[in-house]
Structure 1
Amino acid sequence: MTFLIGLALLIVDAAVVAWPLYATWPFLLVTVGAGVLAWAVAIISHRLRFAWYVRVIVAVLAGLLIGALLTHADRLTSIGAIVDAYAGMLRGLIAGWKELLTVPLPAGSYVDVLVPWFIVVYAGVLLALSLRRIAWLSAGVGTLPLLFALAFSSPSVGAVALPGVAVEYVQIVLGILWMLGAFLVARGAATSAAGSSPAGSSRAKRPSRRSPVSLSRRLVSSVSAVAVLAIAIGVVAAAVVATGIPGTRVALRQDIEPAQTLAVAPSPLSLYRESFVNSQLFAGTALTYSATPGGDRRIRLAVLPFYDGNVFSAS
């Protein structure tokens, strides 16, 4: 139970960080659906004692069949739309990653951009459940959705914010949530591995010299100490990041998005005034105008309502 709670905290933390990427209700459906589907596949494969290659086949088929419906849930209005959803699932396995980097954020449910998020959550939860006897590895793969959210986000969109709450405090809470989730996952995996040790091992035969009450107290105290330490480390790390260490945040989108360069240029009015100062401009004909008989003889000019001297150019 501890393992599942920690894994759920990791997914919730990643979903909060990834919300600015999508900002649409199908994103929440994909997050919950991918986690539940991965849990169901892992439980069924374990109960039926499937071989490793059978587990891989079942996981892939379940991900494709159910994932197509989850990632295109807002477009399932007909049989043809369902067929298009399965085609979009296959297309999103390859092109969805590129689309998520090139479309403006928030991407919503545009085309197949939800497919990469489904794959990361589904694979992360499924691998964490399958490798739960290896504490550090299960906690690592459970963090895959968070790494995805950080890598595919954009500094131009902004961080997760709550009304009336400073962004720094939100980041600190997310850091604490991640540390707590990773600790619970690692702790649950270690407990599961210890509980599944062979009955004939020397550790199982060694008699206990302490009472059950003493052992339980020592266990509670040690777990509490490690939890406090993990939360403290998370608070310090999140606070340091929130205060802004010199440097820039790096994301994959930075190499894709066109950079906006702010340049200062002279105003059109100053250029117009310079034309009167430079007498060489009056040496030739500056403007020739002809109108048809009975037509409009006025010359219409476009005038800027204001000019601040700033010119944006995309490169």
Structure 2
Amino acid sequence: MTTTPLRERPRGAARRPPARRRRPVVRLVAGTGAVWVLVALASVAWWPVHRDGAMVVAGTTAVVVGTLVAVLGLVLRLPAAAVAVLTVVGFVVTGVPAAVPDRADGVLPTGPGVVDLLAGVALGWRQLVTVSLPVGSYEALLVPYFVTALLATVVGVTVATRASRPEAAGLAPLVVFAAGVAVGPTRLATSVALAVALVGAALAWALSVRHVRRATTVAETVGQPVPVLRAVVRPALVGTATIAAAALVATGLGLLVPPSAGRTVARTDVVRPFDPRDHVSPLSGFRAYQEDDQVDVPQLTVTGLPRGGFVRIATLDTYDGVVYRVGGPDGATASGTFERVPTSVDVSGVRGTRVRVGVTVDGYRDVWLPTVGDLETVTFQGRTADRDRTGFFYDRATSTGALVGGVSAGTRYTLSAVLPAQPTERQLTAARPGTVSVPTPRAVPDAVRDAVQAVSEPGASDGARLVAALSALARTGYVSHGVGDDRASRSGHGADRIEELLTGQPVVGDQEQYAVAAALMAQQIGFPARVVMGFTAGGDSGTTPTTGAGGRTTFRGSDVTARIEVDTAEYGWVLLDPNPVVREIPEESDQTPQPVTRPETIVPPPPAEPQVQEQQTPPQADPDAPPARPFWLQLLLAVLPWALGVLGVAALVLLPVVVVLVLKRLRRRRRRRAPAARARVVGAWDEYRDALLDNGHAVAATATRREVAVAAPGDAATGLSALADRAVFGPSDVDDRTADRMWDATDAAVAELRSGRTRRERFRAAVSVRSFRSGRWVR
């Protein structure tokens, strides 16, 4: 009689796949889905780097190809070396159309595209940190993200479906996130919230996998299935809820107390391929444009430039007493940061007029690329377009462009830019100095300070002093380039030449000296200032450049000029012209200063009694400065960030403890307030059984109440088990009085378990989660 059931069981099993056969399919689906979610979250860190739909295509392709390679390795049971070969093949076949779309032939790779793809694996990382963001799909700069996402998918899906510890699959997407942060922008953006979400999702996946593995082991040991809801879902939900709560606290602290400075990433420490300090200042060659062999030579042909427009050659903000040049003295200031521009420059915050200007280079030769206003995009044309595109660098801080290898004849490009709105002279008079940091000039002659003091009225605002200084310079100065029949005028703009300019009679120089003197005077007043060299209509000489049909303007050597930019709090950088108009220079004898007779001033006698002023302004006090903070407020502001940090750490440490205590409290309340008296009696027994588990006593999951009572310490468990069994299996209903008596006895039994224990042991029992893992915490 026993043989028939034994023969029928395999037949029934054949109709339904056994759990062992279904397990790989479930693991494949769950593991693959988890890796996809984690890789997608990690890829968000790369979005500020590219900000282009091509990145979405590359990421999707990498995930699909990586998944196919990992699944093929699982089905065919391929070794790691074979999986690596398949990964390389998939990378080469799909990498060109996905990561180097400009080099692809539709959906097929090309020879040059494969070369760029393989080179991008090794060289793309360095190029990424030397290019201004975003880069879009520029050249092969999508390759680092594509190869990182592909490897993370292959490794993640392989580990999730084949390794003994599938939870380790969450480490590969973390590498994708770390790489995106390393090559990303210096600003914080959304990295805090993204990191918390990614780590939380990885931990939730790890907890789920761990509980599934434990439930599977228990089922194989006891020979019967384990309820998934109790053994897997509930513990995973508890762990995930704790992680989510901690993530909310961490994110809140990150947003409440953000870092005061930009974060350090790869692009902040990398050595730039273009260093402006390696090149001669363009202002040093200013007089060369005025020589007889260059003054009438066409330098640039520009179309689309507004009337009176200014074409910038370079912005110079560092003065060392010898020359004004581009870049900081140690390369650490923002003025020396030149980056490649693969797509566009963000000019959304600039108010002004948008223009589109075409430039054709004629006789101009230098490493500095002439631009207009605040550059947004540049597009090169002609036979050298590819070389010029890869060699173009731009400094956003100074709006200066450079071309590695220099500008040559026939170089053609189109600029999209914004011409910033400029204030009127009246508005400038009321302007205040800005806060932009520029390198402090060195070896400034004393004549600069004397010239500012000579034209400054007592009590005048900084803007009024600036306008007065520039007006005096333009009113008293005369223009001479020192060539041909011009009055002798020494070239250069070192400290001695600026001293000679400001103290000479008459004041003679050209735009090279006047711009430097004006910039130094503006900085003496308090305005951050810099010199701008470029081309303009007539070069401030009163002549007009050649203008053809269609708004085509030809700038010649005589059209070169130099001006200054000052930073104001209200209008940002303002372009100012400090140069005198071209006029006849008088003889030195006509400039002999005549003595000025001043009327005698009657000095009143001193007062009989000294005047006592209760409130005096300190000699060096700034009337516009805010009042000094009291000491207690300074102390509070100094301690507050540290206190918030300590409280945040304490909250993160204590949060799991609070969560466990709250859940236990809710569980007890639900059991004691059950609607039926019989349920309250059973709940009291469950409360005692959980107390045994939390206090470290071994309680088998399949043990009956009597078996638990026999193994429990003391005699209270025997009475509780008997009362609970009688309530469950007895013929009569249980009344509320019996339920209350059961709970009183349970509280006394639990107190007896805690008696004689140390404070540390009682705390460990209170925060223990063993009772949650038993599957009874919801009853």
Offset, 1:208? 5.9
Contact 1:138 1:185 in 2 (8 A): no
> 1:17 matched to which residue of 2?
45
Counterparts in 2 of 1:80 and 1:71: CA distance versus 1, 3 Å: closer
Offset, 1:60? 1.8
Offset, 1:149? 1.2
Matched, 1:251 2:265: yes
1:80-111, CA deviations, whole angstroms, 9 ceiling, x for partnerless residues?
97222211111101111111111110011111
Equivalent position SS for 1:106: coil
Cα distance in 1 for residues equivalent to 2:144 and 2:469: 52
Cα distance in 2 for residues equivalent to 1:225 and 1:129: 26
Counterparts in 2 of 1:217 and 1:78: CA distance versus 1, 3 Å: closer
Offset, 1:33? 0.8
Which structure's relative contact order is higher, taking Cα pairs within 8 Å and 6+ residues apart?
1
Equivalent position SS for 2:567: coil
> 1:200 matched to which residue of 2?
none
Matched, 1:207 2:213: no
Equivalent position SS for 2:134: coil
Contact 1:96 1:116 in 2 (8 A): yes
Contact 2:35 2:153 in 1 (8 A): yes
> 1:159 matched to which residue of 2?
189
Offset, 1:234? 1.8
Equivalent position SS for 2:241: helix
TM-score, normalising length: structure 2: 0.33
Matched, 1:138 2:151: no
Contact 2:125 2:144 in 1 (8 A): yes
Alignment of 1:14-53 (within 5 A): 14-53=42-81
Report which stretch shifted further, 265-274 or 117-126. Answer: 265-274
> 1:260 matched to which residue of 2?
334
Q: 1:308 aligns with which of 541, 553, 567?
A: 567
Cα distance in 2 for residues equivalent to 1:127 and 1:23: 26
1:168-191, CA deviations, whole angstroms, 9 ceiling, x for partnerless residues?
xx953x345313421343246546
Q: 1:232 aligns with which of 245, 257, 266?
A: 245
More strand by share: 2
Identity rate, percent? 17
Offset, 1:222? 0.5
Gaps of 5+ in 1: 161-169, 198-202, 289-295
Contact 1:5 1:181 in 2 (8 A): no
1:243-275, CA deviations, whole angstroms, 9 ceiling, x for partnerless residues?
234454221111136741522779696377479
Counterparts in 2 of 1:305 and 1:204: CA distance versus 1, 3 Å: closer
Letter in 2 for 1:68: V
Letter in 1 for 2:504: F
More helix by share: 1
Contact 1:6 1:184 in 2 (8 A): no
Offset, 1:194? 5.9
Counterparts in 2 of 1:74 and 1:185: CA distance versus 1, 3 Å: farther
1:155-206, CA deviations, whole angstroms, 9 ceiling, x for partnerless residues?
25x625xxxxxxxxx953x345313421343246546766997xxxxx6753
Offset, 1:79? 10
Offset, 1:126? 1.1
1:30-54, CA deviations, whole angstroms, 9 ceiling, x for partnerless residues?
1111011111000001111112222
Letter in 2 for 1:159: A
Cα distance in 2 for residues equivalent to 1:118 and 1:25: 13
> 2:36 matched to which residue of 1?
8
Cα distance in 1 for residues equivalent to 2:98 and 2:144: 12
Contact 1:131 1:138 in 2 (8 A): yes
> 1:70 matched to which residue of 2?
98
Cα distance in 2 for residues equivalent to 1:45 and 1:138: 16
Equivalent position SS for 1:206: helix
Alignment of 1:71-220 (within 5 A): 71-77=99-105, 82-132=110-160, 133=163, 134-155=165-186, 159=189, 172=193, 174-175=194-195, 177-187=197-207, 189-190=209-210, 206-207=221-222, 212-213=226-227, 216-220=229-233
Counterparts in 2 of 1:274 and 1:72: CA distance versus 1, 3 Å: closer
Cα distance in 1 for residues equivalent to 2:131 and 2:502: 50
Cα distance in 1 for residues equivalent to 2:204 and 2:257: 29
Equivalent position SS for 1:112: coil
Count of paired positions: 286
Contact 2:212 2:232 in 1 (8 A): no
> 2:355 matched to which residue of 1?
none
Counterparts in 2 of 1:59 and 1:268: CA distance versus 1, 3 Å: farther
Cα distance in 1 for residues equivalent to 2:106 and 2:229: 58
Letter in 2 for 1:149: G
Equivalent position SS for 1:49: coil
Contact 1:69 1:82 in 2 (8 A): no
Equivalent position SS for 1:286: strand
Counterparts in 2 of 1:185 and 1:274: CA distance versus 1, 3 Å: same
Letter in 1 for 2:251: A
Cα distance in 2 for residues equivalent to 1:212 and 1:81: 52
Counterparts in 2 of 1:236 and 1:112: CA distance versus 1, 3 Å: same
Could you say which structure has the larger radius of gyration? Answer: 2
Cα distance in 2 for residues equivalent to 1:126 and 1:177: 22
Equivalent position SS for 1:131: helix
Letter in 2 for 1:308: D
1:203-253, CA deviations, whole angstroms, 9 ceiling, x for partnerless residues?
6753168x744x632422101101111112222222222223445422111
Cα distance in 2 for residues equivalent to 1:109 and 1:117: 11
> 1:242 matched to which residue of 2?
255
Contact 2:38 2:173 in 1 (8 A): yes
Counterparts in 2 of 1:70 and 1:83: CA distance versus 1, 3 Å: same
Offset, 1:59? 1.6
Report which stretch shifted further, 40-49 or 5-14. Answer: 5-14
Contact 2:49 2:136 in 1 (8 A): yes
Contact 2:63 2:153 in 1 (8 A): yes
Counterparts in 2 of 1:41 and 1:287: CA distance versus 1, 3 Å: closer
Letter in 1 for 2:197: L
Counterparts in 2 of 1:72 and 1:217: CA distance versus 1, 3 Å: same
Counterparts in 2 of 1:49 and 1:78: CA distance versus 1, 3 Å: closer
1:108-138, CA deviations, whole angstroms, 9 ceiling, x for partnerless residues?
1111111100111111111112222324532
Over the aligned positions, Cα root-mean-square deviation in angstroms equals 3.9
Counterparts in 2 of 1:96 and 1:306: CA distance versus 1, 3 Å: closer
Counterparts in 2 of 1:110 and 1:186: CA distance versus 1, 3 Å: same
Contact 1:7 1:181 in 2 (8 A): no
Contact 1:150 1:251 in 2 (8 A): yes
Report which stretch shifted further, 131-140 or 182-191. Answer: 182-191
Contact 1:6 1:183 in 2 (8 A): no
Contact 2:32 2:67 in 1 (8 A): no
> 2:503 matched to which residue of 1?
281
Cα distance in 2 for residues equivalent to 1:120 and 1:195: 34
Cα distance in 2 for residues equivalent to 1:79 and 1:179: 36
Letter in 2 for 1:54: A
Counterparts in 2 of 1:176 and 1:4: CA distance versus 1, 3 Å: farther
